[in-house]
Structure 1
Amino acid sequence: MVAYTTAPGDVETGLEERMVVLVEKKSSAGRIFKASLALLVVALLLGGLLFAWYWSGRQELMTQSGEKEALIKNDTSEKTDHHSMLRQISSKAKAAIHLEGNCDEDCESSKGELQWRNDQGQAFAQGGFRLLKNQIVIPKTGLYFVYSQASFRVSCSDGDEEGAGKRHTPLSHRIWRYSDSLGRSASLMNAVRSACQNTAQEGSYRDGQGWYNAIYLGAVFQLNRGDRLWTETNQLSELETEDGKTFFGVFAL
């Protein structure tokens, strides 16, 4: 508010001719208003800083959560079996063949042989690939990814000599190649693994019914038209072929 007061008159001009001067007095209400405004601005600044701090922490938490979900997804995808992954990749290739293993009663004998089938399960052949006399025939010269898996379940009983003998017989799986350019057979890939191991390994377990493990092979090769590929596997009586556990395939790159 503004208040007014009169100043004393000039003595020389007389009481009748006194000049009135208005003097403005500033009220304390103005100072209170300014102080309140300043406090409001400070409060708004502090509120903004607190909100920014909260939002930054929330974003970091969401980022960490997203990273954890991504890691979980990556970990899950890495555990996807070779059979499903390679089946999807090869199905998109222009030239590919995927075979599933079959081992009948003949596998119990020493003359038994693992038979590859292109007419069961998820097996297929396209782009000129052929299955001839249990061998894959390459349709044309180029780069190819060759792969195979053999799954075993070996009885590890300590009570009989047969079980003891199997413990000391390593499991093996090999892919062979014959090429006219070489004029002979050559081993493309080979893996050997001990059965009935005492220490647990990834992809194997002992559940009282046997020791399970799978041998996987896979690599890229330059192959020629007419080359033939086949496999060689021991301990066929211990081989598991159901549900696509044993397979063999090639696809063009």
Structure 2
Amino acid sequence: MEKECRVPMAEESERREEEKKFVLCTKANLGLLACTLLLVGCAAAVLLTANQGLSQKDEHLGALKLSMRQTHVRAAIHLDGKYDDETGTVRWQKDTDQSYSQGELTLDNNEIVIPLSGPYFVYSQASYRLTCSSEEEDGEEEEEEESGGLVHISHTVERKSDSVGSGEEPEEDYNSILHSVRTACHRHRHKGHWFTGVYVGAMFNLKRGDRLRVNLTENPNIRSNLDDDNGETFFGVFAL
């Protein structure tokens, strides 16, 4: 009897031991699983943060590249000239086939305005179709005697700048920076047209807000013969 009781008790003890081991093993597995899930979550968070950082970095690099491309765009403007009968001078146009504009150089009141301080190349040309017949018009006889029958044309680019100072009169605010005079033809008895032009151009260190304008030859009878076909009379500036 005593022996029979010991056997069930031993089996019960073994069963309880097995259950304890199973519970301990299950808890260990659950702990390991929790740690694994935690590590996976941390890794996912790190990857997400890294991807967001790369995305923001790409956005910054893209913005930087765009800014650099915009910075390397050199300001330039090329204007086509048309004779204005009302004012007796040239009217610069920026909306023709031959004109061109890039950057912040602007045309205001028939003058080019400099947007930023720095080196610029300034250039201009005026072309004329002249009649050099000795049958002069009224008012030209005295001028012809003084010039010995020669017909002269001139071309000037003037600058208005706060860095230079201003005069008492508005016209005194402008200073000549480019000027050229040439002999176009000699008066003679034969009728016909002479085609001629005068070009000026040079590099200048200009200041922000400077204004540039062109003055044609002083003789109004010559100015009225300005050749304003495409590519004949122009005015331009570009940054260096």
TM over 0.5: yes
- Quick one: distance in 2 between partners of 1:168 and 1:222? 36
2:67 is the alignment partner of 1:94:
no
Equivalent AA in structure 2 for residue 94 of structure 1: R
Equivalent AA in structure 1 for residue 103 of structure 2: G
Q: Is the 8 A contact 1:93 1:252 kept in 2?
A: no
1:224 — aligned with what?
A: 207
Deviates more, 1:154-163 or 1:214-223: 154-163
Q: Is the 8 A contact 1:129 1:139 kept in 2?
A: yes
Report sequence identity in percent.
44
2:224 — aligned with what?
A: 237
1:192 — aligned with what?
A: 181
Residues 229 and 160 of structure 1, relative CA distance in 2, 3 Å threshold: closer
Unaligned runs of 5+ in 1: 1-91, 199-206
- Quick one: distance in 2 between partners of 1:195 and 1:93? 39
2:108 — aligned with what?
A: 132
- Quick one: distance in 2 between partners of 1:93 and 1:174? 29
Residues 158 and 125 of structure 1, relative CA distance in 2, 3 Å threshold: same
Residues 160 and 214 of structure 1, relative CA distance in 2, 3 Å threshold: closer
2:12 — aligned with what?
A: none
Matches within 5 A, 1:1-253: 94-106=74-86, 111-161=87-137, 167-183=149-165, 184-197=173-186, 209-234=192-217, 235-253=222-240
Calculate the TM-score normalised by the size of structure 1.
Answer: 0.54
Equivalent AA in structure 1 for residue 115 of structure 2: P
CA offset at residue 210 of structure 1?
A: 1.0
- Quick one: distance in 2 between partners of 1:127 and 1:97? 8
- Quick one: distance in 1 between partners of 2:81 and 2:121? 19
Q: Is the 8 A contact 2:74 2:239 kept in 1?
A: yes
Equivalent AA in structure 2 for residue 172 of structure 1: S
CA offset at residue 97 of structure 1?
A: 0.3
Equivalent AA in structure 2 for residue 97 of structure 1: I
Q: Is the 8 A contact 1:137 1:228 kept in 2?
A: yes
Two-structure CA RMSD over aligned residues (Å): 2.3
Residues 93 and 241 of structure 1, relative CA distance in 2, 3 Å threshold: farther
Unaligned runs of 5+ in 2: 1-71, 166-172
Greater helix content: 2
The answer to which structure, 1 or 2, has the higher relative contact order (CA under 8 A, 6+ apart) is: 2
CA offset at residue 105 of structure 1?
A: 2.8
Superposed CA offset, 1:88-128 (max 9, x none): xxxx961100001011332xxxx412110001122021110
CA offset at residue 219 of structure 1?
A: 0.4
Structure 1 segments, 4+ long, off by >3 Å, are: 159-169
Residues 224 and 160 of structure 1, relative CA distance in 2, 3 Å threshold: closer
- Quick one: distance in 1 between partners of 2:98 and 2:128? 20
